[in-house]
């Protein structure tokens, strides 16, 4: 992700890493959620991925049907109906219906992710409002906010801004994941040594913020 210098399109690709590191890991390793809530979330994500790939890859369709059969008991009635409709769609290969159902499943994944994230605690090392603003900016970019897009692709943008955004994203997602994995392992009786990593992160964050402010002036 860091190779290739100022590749603007990496800012779009980095969103997936951000969701995995700042939301999904926080849900999966959280002590605030039940195992049933976590397993339902993982099931919905995997069913969504298999459904998307399954239309053109029979092997993924088989995996979809197997997983749905095994984990159906975790889903709500409305969720089950949605995935049952996709099950039938993958069997008959209805392309237009598949597109509609995929859109509904993606909305379900986003909704489930956001609802569960609200039940978890963001580590004190981060400011919750900054994380929310972080994803809000991504959302505006993806949905074509002309002001943000003009700023992103403008020829007068500060040098290294793109690299800074990617560096910052990788830093906070990595540390957030490590914090939650560490807590999860400690609840299992396993100690994870991280040394002074969190103190070094705080120092690096301040230095990065100073440099970022300097190039934006």
pLDDT digits (tens, 9 = 90+) for 168-204: 888 888 999 999 999 999 999 999 888 888 888 888 8
Instruction: Give how many domains the chain has, as a whole number.
Output: 2
Other Cβ atoms within 10 Å of 114 Cβ, number: 11
**Percentage, residues of the chain above pLDDT 90:** 51
CA–CA separation, 198 vs 174, rounded Å? 11
Angular region, 190: left φ>0, alpha ψ -120 to 50, beta rest: beta
Residue identified by tokens 């995935």 is 83
∠ Cα 50 52 54 (to 5°): 60
Say if pTM beats, i.e. exceeds, 0.85: no
The reply to whether 3 and 78 lie within a common domain is no
pLDDT at residue 5 above 70?
Answer: no
Residue ranges making up the domain that contains 44: 33-119
Q: Return the higher-pLDDT residue of 34 and 199.
A: 34
**Which of 104, 119, 134 is at the close of a domain?**
119
Q: How far is CA 176 from the centre of its chain?
A: 12
The reply to whether 4 and 64 lie within a common domain is no
Instruction: Provide the 3-class DSSP secondary structure of residue 101.
Output: helix
**Which of 85, 119, 153 is at the close of a domain?**
119
pLDDT at residue 4 above 60?
Answer: no
Q: What is the DSSP letter of 73?
A: G
Residue identified by tokens 């560490």 is 182
The reply to whether 98 and 203 lie within a common domain is no
Residue identified by tokens 């906070």 is 172
**Which of 68, 92, 119 is at the close of a domain?**
119
Instruction: Provide the 3-class DSSP secondary structure of residue 32.
Output: coil
CA–CA separation, 31 vs 40, rounded Å? 16
């Amino acid at each position: 992700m860091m190779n290739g210098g100022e590749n603007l399109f990496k800012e779009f690709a980095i969103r997936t890493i951000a969701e995995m590191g700042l939301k999904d890991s926080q849900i999966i390793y959280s002590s605030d959620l039940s195992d049933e809530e976590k397993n339902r979330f993982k099931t919905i994500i995997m069913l969504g991925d298999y459904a998307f790939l399954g239309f053109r890859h029979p092997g993924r369709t088989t995996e979809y049907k197997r997983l749905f059969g095994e984990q159906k008991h975790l889903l709500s009635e409305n969720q089950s109906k949605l995935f049952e409709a996709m099950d039938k769609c993958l069997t008959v290969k209805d392309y237009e219906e598949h597109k509609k159902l995929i859109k509904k499943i993606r909305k379900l994944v986003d909704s489930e992710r956001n609802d569960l994230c609200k039940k978890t605690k963001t580590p004190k090392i981060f400011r919750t409002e900054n994380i929310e603003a972080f994803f809000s900016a991504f959302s505006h970019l993806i949905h074509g906010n002309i002001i943000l897009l003009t700023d992103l692709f403008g020829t007068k943008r500060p040098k290294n801004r793109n690299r800074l955004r990617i560096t910052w994203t990788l830093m906070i997602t990595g540390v957030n994941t490590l914090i939650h994995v560490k807590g999860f392992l400690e609840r299992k009786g396993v100690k994870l040594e991280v040394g002074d990593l969190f103190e070094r992160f705080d120092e690096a964050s301040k230095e990065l913020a100073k440099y970022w402010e300097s190039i934006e002036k």
